[in-house]
Amino acid sequence: MTTLDLTKLPEYLKSQRWFAGKAWPIKHVTVVDHANVSAGPCSMSLAVVEVMYELGQPERYLLPVKPSVDGVRDALEDDDCLRALFDLIRDGAQLPSASGRIVGEWIGGPEGLLGLPSPLAVRRLMVEQSNTSIVLGEKVIVKIIRKLEAGVNPEHEVGRFLATRTSFRATPALLGALRLEGAAGATLALAHRFIPNAVDGWKYTLDRLRVERPLGDTFLDEMADLGARLGDLHRAFGSAPPDDAAFVPEPLLQEDLQRWSASIVGELGVTLAEAGRLHTDLEGRRERLIDYAKRLAQVSPSGQKIRIHGDMHLGQVLRANDQWLIFDFEGEPARSFTARREKYSPLRDVAGMLRSFDYAEATVALEGGAPRGRVGPSRDAFLEGYRKATLGAAFLPADAASFDAMLRAFELEKLLYEVRYEMQNRPDWVRIPVEALLRMEESP
């Protein structure tokens, strides 16, 4: 291994914007695996380090580093080293590590390399905190994953499945990956097709809501198209063959509905205990909200559990060339990889997007705009597009009443999460999900 001054690692980590443990005293840092990369003018170490804190669970991070007079420096400041990492992916290369091996995987085929200039121009993106992303030749975007988790990375797994086993193309295609095999195994980097001039769906929707009064047919048609794209994604997940255990659909059982219902009831109790002190009007809705959650357990089981996006909202879609693209299949960051890979009702994704429309309208109102009743038409258009794209799909409930009861329960689940999140992070915003909870009405 290239000589590194390990005593400097705690100080180095705390200076990095992607390091999540800045608030906790570090007990010590150890290197659990490493590999040396030497390609042309680049010479660096890919080190996986484990950070032990005085309190709390240890965390693992990927450090592409070089020695320096200050101990270590980030090798990704060097364009040649960034190109070297991409070459490992593109070439399907393998390198020995101290306890395993680094393996490059290229699934993009020869066509994935078309149009790549040489040498590759490097452009760093400064918007991410938890990872490092770079654009190469304006054709490929590579995400270097800083905080590592053992197990199968959902974004890698889903991207490979969609690219190699389905016809779904409404996503920036996964081209390849870099992973570490061995005792410290993890996905280290992912390469996707870069979509130039794309606008994220959250910004796109806010911009439209700021100027459209009332909503025009064009926007509502776009929302219907968005629903159809999510429906197409779910059809792709639902098409998995029996030999693909990670993706093959499974029957939706009564015990699944009961388990999900009990979980929502539990979350409701915790959330109202926290929020009810500040928003006493919620207490009067407790029994009715519990009823919504309990109805989920009373639904006659039909449909299937499939893999889902898992963190669906307007910020997880792109608008480019008058089309919607769905991306970021990492799932909810606070959940373990195992939990993120769990098969679920696809209506959970639908509920997440519906809640996003409410947030968009409320955000415009917080900026000083007057709410104009645009959430309902947006929701209706989105749901119409989704229902048309999934008509007859085996993974959906068999009847409209079950569809509505399940969707309402998953919206409630999302609302409870939003209340807790806003109380902890943005107290001024907590009124958005609280008011939505108060608006929930009895089903016919």
Q: Residue range 393-419: average pLDDT?
A: 96
What gap in Å lies between CA 148 and CA 184, rounded to an integer? 9
φ and ψ at residue 32, rounded to 5 degrees: -95, -20
Structure tokens at 143: 């995400």
Q: What is the pLDDT of residue 151?
A: 85
Give the model's pLDDT for residue 190.
Answer: 98
**Which pLDDT band, with edges at 50, 70 and 90, does 247 fall under?**
very high
d(CA 148, CA 226): 32
Model confidence at 401, pLDDT cuts 50, 70, 90, reads: very high
What's the pLDDT score for residue 371? 66
User: Is the pLDDT assigned to residue 231 strictly greater than 90?
Assistant: yes
**Three-class DSSP category at 61:** strand
* Pair of tokens at residue 337: 């990889």
As a whole number, mean pLDDT of residues 324-345 equals 93
Average pLDDT of span 386-402: 97
Please report which confidence band the pLDDT of residue 441 belongs to, taking 50, 70 and 90 as the band edges: low
All structural domains of the chain with their residue ranges: 6-193, 199-439
C-beta neighbour count of 406 within 10 angstroms: 26
Contacts of residue 172, Cβ cutoff 8 Å, sequence gap at least 6: 141, 192, 193, 194, 195, 318, 325, 327
Q: Could you give the CA distance from residue 405 to residue 443 in angstroms, rounded to a whole number?
A: 8
Confidence of residue 112 (pLDDT cuts 50, 70, 90): confident
Query: In this structure, which amino acid lies at residue 313?
Result: H
Q: Which helix (H) or strand (E) holds 424?
A: helix 400-425
For residues 320-328, average pLDDT: 97
Give me the pLDDT at residue 83, please.
95
Q: What is the DSSP string of 130-145?
A: SEEEEEETTTEEEEEE
Mean pLDDT of 296-309: 97
Please provide the average confidence, as pLDDT, over all residues in the chain.
Answer: 92
Q: Which CATH class is domain 199-439?
A: alpha beta
Smallest CA-to-CA distance from 162 within 326, 337, 353 is with 326
Q: Of all residues in the chain, what percent carry a pLDDT higher than 90?
A: 76
Is 292 in a helix, a strand, or coil? helix
Whole-angstrom Cα distance, residue 261 to residue 342?
A: 16
Cα-flanking dihedrals φ and ψ of residue 192, to 5°? -120, 160
Positive or negative, the CA dihedral 106, 108, 110, 114 is: negative
Short-list 324, 330, 344, 357, CA closest to 228? 324
Residue 74 DSSP SS3: strand
Cβ–Cβ under 8 Å, residues 318 and 236: no
